[in-house]
Amino acid sequence: MAGGWRRINAARAVAFLLLGGPIVAGILLTLLPAFGFLPALGGESFSLAPWKRLFAEPGLAASLRLTVFVGFASSAAALALAFAVLARVAGRRSGGAVEGWLAPLLASPHSAIAIGLAFLVAPSGWIVRLLSPLAGFATPPDVATIGDPFGLALTLGLAVKETPFLIAVGLAALRQFPAQAQLRAARTLGYAPAAAFVVIVAPQLYARMRLPVAAVLAYGLSVVDMAIVLGSSHPAPLSLMGLRWFLSPNLDDVFIASAAATLQLAIVAVALLVWRAAEALALRMLVARARSGMRSGVLEPLARGLALAGGAAVGLGFASLVVLVVWAFAWRWPFPRAWPESFSFEILRRATPRLASPLGATVALAAVSTLAALALAVACLEGDDRLGRRGSSALLYLPLLLPQLSFLFGVETLFSALRFDGTFAAVAWAHGLFVFPYVLLALEGPWRALDPRYARAARALGTGPLETLVRVKLPILAGPLLLAFAIGVSVSAAQYLSTLFAGGGRVATLTTEALALVDGGDRRLSAVFGLMQALVPFVVYAAALAAPRILHRRRLGLVDP
């Protein structure tokens, strides 16, 4: 028995307990009110009353259609655009440069991109201002480009944000198999470039991207932060309807909110199954195409068009960040002028007292949750090495696939019962639920790729396991560790619902404040908070990318210490 216990990866057991435990409890404590059972609010027995009230809600059908459309359309668009871009760079050596260019977009939270994009595509936004000399606009056109009932603005925002993410994931996956050699071989057999990528490389690439793609789909079906900025109110996505009921002063609304959260969980589960079935169908079609021997270049125009659209999506992301900077310092900018008449630091000066506390909380929460997640991820992977086998990470990645509303209310209920809610530690823990999977995902590949002969050589020289980890493995993996830390900071800085629920409204971050200002009418103040929200993770991301190069140059003696 003792030997069996020693074969358990203690770090993974701790991770399952600290992260999986609250999530399982959160789902259960959300399911119970969905079926009428919550004694604290008078729900003494199980009933279907919350469901009857939910299905009787006016506009629910429209909300469900909007939710499903936005989730599938944005995910499919982001995947198609990312693959088109990857097809253009797969046979070249420009992947590293592309990743460097994508860093600002990868680091920026969803809501910061959404705020900037709203400034771009609003009826009085920058794009209309630039077109006004040609179109003759003297006043903003009466067109609902933001919050449209069809969800087009929200779909665009999700695609703009997720396309760079999937490109970065795909570039990392391309390094895991000889894609360039396979493409060259396919070209010698007469395949056109796009056909070679689709038939030969794409299936292998997608197999290594399945989890991130599923996470993108789950997020798109349950998005809240971007929906607050870009989504419509009538009908509202199901996620926004559920959030409003959870935040309602009428405590009876908790029951219908829990039912809505449970319904969203079911929608995401069914959507993932449908997506998986579509994957299988697409694979069969690709196999049939490969067996047919078709090598024509009919895909070339489509691939070029999609690659251009992918570049445009990335360009929109950068433009969203640029317009945040412009609006943050614009003092006077009347419509339809394409450029502000004057700039000033006055708005930033006025906002500084209001920025101080959320900025400090954002940095502190990101540091604490990411360092804890990074230490736990290293412990999990090192434990796998010492046991000589790979542990399963499937359950640890579960937070990436679950709608946050489906368990965060339950987590808040659990924390409240423990008198733990509303504290900094509770919010840091809630952030850690989402930071840890991303950190583990970012670190697992480089850790597995590390040549085990380094550790064996160190052990042969008499070093112990801990010393081998500290003096051999971690220095070699300094770059991936720093990048995983930067990703963790970015995930923490973007957290909205986890801060809202675990903090009980008593812990304010840049994200919660930026979204609270969306309906305030002051674009300049919203831009300042959105800019700061994007700046914090970007600084960490840039430092993580630059530090390994600087350290490498110092080791070579190219830079004075």
Q: What is the pLDDT along the chain (561 residues), one digit of tens a residue?
A: 334 435 678 888 899 888 888 999 999 999 999 999 999 888 899 999 999 999 999 999 999 999 999 999 999 999 999 999 999 888 666 666 777 788 899 999 999 999 999 999 999 999 999 998 888 888 899 888 899 999 999 999 999 999 999 999 999 888 888 888 898 888 888 888 888 898 889 999 999 999 999 999 999 999 999 999 999 888 999 999 999 999 999 999 999 999 999 999 999 999 999 999 999 999 888 888 777 766 666 778 888 999 999 999 999 999 999 999 999 999 889 898 989 999 999 888 989 999 999 999 999 999 999 999 999 999 999 998 888 877 767 778 889 999 999 999 999 999 988 888 889 999 999 999 999 999 999 998 889 888 888 888 988 888 888 888 988 899 999 989 999 999 999 999 999 999 999 998 899 999 999 999 987 778 899 999 999 999 999 999 989 988 877 766 655 554 444
pLDDT attached to residue 4: 41
Together in a domain, 132 and 8 = no
Query: In the prediction, which pLDDT does 94 show?
Result: 60
Q: Establish if 14 belongs to a structural domain.
A: yes
What tokens were used for 30? 């959300």
Q: What is the pLDDT of residue 233?
A: 83
Inside any domain, residue 58: no
Q: Are residues 9 and 93 in the same domain?
A: no
Q: Which of 289, 321, 344 is the last residue of a domain?
A: 344
Residue 46 lies in a domain: no
* Measured distance CA(196)–CA(187) in Å, rounded: 7
Angle formed by the axes of helices 152-174 and 95-107, to 10°? Answer: 140
Alpha-carbon distance of 235 to 241, in angstroms, equals: 9
**pLDDT computed for residue 2 by the predictor:** 39
Cα gap 178→514, rounded to integer Å: 44
**Hey, what are 414's tokens?**
């659990």
Same domain, residue pair 292 and 202: yes
Domain endpoint, select from 344, 373, 394: 344
Residue 60 lies inside a defined structural domain of this protein: no
DSSP label of 395: G
**Is 551 part of any domain?**
yes
Instruction: Report the alpha-carbon distance of residue 447 to residue 466 in Å, rounded.
Output: 16
What is the spatial distance between Cα 263 and Cα 34, in angstroms, rounded to a whole number?
9
What DSSP assignment string belongs to 280-343? HHHHHHHHHHHHHT---STHHHHHHHHHHHHHHHHHHHHHHHHHHHHHHHEEE--TT-SS-SEE
What does the alpha-carbon distance between residue 537 and residue 539 come to, in Å, rounded to a whole number? 5
Alpha carbon distance 507, 213 (integer Å): 32
- What integer pLDDT is reported at residue 561 of this predicted model? 44
Final residue in a domain of this structure, among 284, 314, 344: 344
d(CA 38, CA 35): 9
CB 426 within 8 A of CB 502: yes
pLDDT at position 466:
87
What is the value of pTM for the model shown? Answer: 0.93
Is the domain of 318 the same as that of 457?
Answer: no
Residue 48 domain-assigned (yes or no): no
How big is the chain by its Cα radius of gyration, in Å? 25
Same domain, yes or no: 337 and 353 = no
Q: Which CATH number does the domain housing residue 5 bear?
A: 1.10.3720.10
Q: What is the pLDDT of residue 136?
A: 83
Nearest-CA neighbor of 266 among 410, 69, 402, 70?
402
User: What's the number of domains the chain is made of?
Assistant: 2
Q: The domain containing residue 359 runs over which residues?
A: 1-37+348-561
Is the separation of the CB atoms in 103 and 214 below 8 Å? no
In-domain check, residue 256: yes
User: Six-digit token pair at 499?
Assistant: 């801060």
